[in-house]
Each structure stands twice: as structure tokens, then as C-alpha cells.
Amino acid sequence: MKLLSVAFLAALAILARASAKKRQTTHTACIPQDIVYMVDSSSYVGTNNFLQELSFIKNNLRYYNLSPQCTRISVVTYSSGVYNQFYLNQYHSQQELYNAIDAIQYKAGGTNTGNVINWVNSNSFTAANGGRVGVPHYAVWVGGSSGANPSQTVEAAATARNAGMMFFSVGVGNGVNNGELRGMTGTCMQQADIAFLVDGSGSIGSTNFLKLENFVKDVVGKLDVGANKVHVSVTQFSNYPKQEFPLNMH
């Protein structure tokens, strides 16, 4: 199994735009948002891929303006049980978050995705644990296995979405139940504006850049792109952003 590390800012852009909350952002902008990563620690994922999941989160921290006023981050892992690693109000600098993520231990077990969604909905975004009123609450599922009870996952996600949580999912390998993921995110892509922000810096390298290109092409190939349907744009960035094509070109 391989985890394709894609600029997560692009993922949030997809989610926000599909929710008709359009706004212009850069990776240095102060965007007040509370983000909780729900990380699959089940036996199916295994130690190596679990470390890749954590690496994915660390790699994407650089796209946020991390501070109590801007972006707050929390991580919760789960397998048979739910294990809160740190709340939204515990760490606010990149280095603090790196250290906290590096200290997370792998705890193998079953895959109870519905339980972690219910736990996050009840605990992670409360005021006591750093959740803010009037700020978007994102729950990001990072995992590689189907839940033990997919219908429970979908039901828990629907309850959480009704409470104001917005979901995004990053799948690892072939063990993911696509129907479960669609039910989790509740995303309707019949009409949406999707902006991909692609890292073209020298640190990525040509091989990984090609993987990013193929990932974007694969996603776009599954969308119903059209004038009154899904609009797609791509912007590449290194030292400066460069728009490859705008939303209204294709």
C-alpha cells in the first residue's frame, strides 16, 4: 500500500468550494479553521503505512498558518478503541506539532470508524478542547481499511455533518470501501468548483511530481466536468504560484 502525499490545502479547497464557501487563499494566509485528523491504526494498515499516514500529516502542516488565531490541529488515532493524541488547543507551532506527531505510537486492532467519528463529534471540537464558534470544523480521515460496520460509519458521519463538521478522506491502498467514504464525506459533486494546488518545488522531484499529475488526472477522470457541472482549475506553486488553467477554461 502507498500513501500519495498531495498538498492538503488543495483538499480543503475542494471541500470548501463544493460547500459553496468560495474564498481565495494562499498557504501563508491566516485562515481560522479547526482541523482534526482521524488516523487509522488498525492491524490492516500495519506499522509502515501507519508511519506514512503520520508523515502525510506532517508534510501538510507547512501549508497552514499555525497559531491560536488561525489554524488549529488535533490528531486522534483509532483501531478497536479511540486514542486522542492531542487537542486543538495543545500545540500551535510547526515544531511542537512535529514532536507530538513523532511521539504517536501504533496501536493495532480492529477498525471501528463509526466510533472515532462519534468521539470526535462529541469531544474534539468543544470549547474546552480548543474548538471555536464560527470557525469551520474539518474532520480528516486518513486510513487504509473499511470500517467493521460501514452503515454505522455513514450514520455517525451524517450525525456529525448535521452538527457542523465537514469531512475529507485520504485513502491508503485497496482496502478502502469507496461507498463508505462517499457516505462519510456526504459530498455532492454534481456541481462544484474544484481547485487543485500542486507542489512543483524542487523538493518534490520529477518522479513525485509525475505521481501528482497522475493523481489529478485520475480524480478529474472520475468527475462529470462541464459548463453547468464540475469546474476544475490547476495551480502549480514553487517560489511563486502559476495558474495552469482557470475554472472556466474546460
Find the Cα–Cα–Cα–Cα dihedral 122, 71, 142, 86, rounded to 10°: -60
Please report, as a single letter, which amino acid is at residue 126. Answer: T
Q: What is the DSSP letter of 81?
A: S
Q: Are residues 202 and 81 in the same domain?
A: no
Residue ranges making up the domain that contains 206: 189-250
Domain boundary among 164, 186, 208: 186
Q: Are residues 47 and 153 in the same domain?
A: yes
pLDDT digits (tens, 9 = 90+) for 197-224: 777 777 667 877 787 787 777 777 767 7
Which tops the pLDDT comparison, 49 or 70? 70
- The answer to whether the CB of 131 falls within 8 A of the CB of 137 is yes
User: What's the total number of domains in the chain?
Assistant: 2
| C-alpha cell of residue 141 | 480521515
pLDDT digits (tens, 9 = 90+) for 81-104: 999 999 999 999 999 999 999 999
Residue 138 lies in a domain: yes
How far apart are the C-alpha atoms of 240 and 250, rounded to whole Å? 24
How far apart are the C-alpha atoms of 51 and 244, rounded to whole Å? 33
Residue 153, domain CATH:
3.40.50.410
- pLDDT at residue 85, rounded to an integer: 98
- The answer to whether the CB of 202 falls within 8 A of the CB of 239 is no
User: Cβ contacts of residue 228 below 8 Å, gap of 6+?
Assistant: 191
Short-list 123, 53, 39, 40, CA closest to 89: 123
pLDDT digits (tens, 9 = 90+) for 219-250: 777 677 888 888 888 888 777 678 888 888 87
**Residue 164 above 60 pLDDT?**
yes
| C-alpha cell of residue 123 | 469531544
Q: Are residues 125 and 193 in the same domain?
A: no
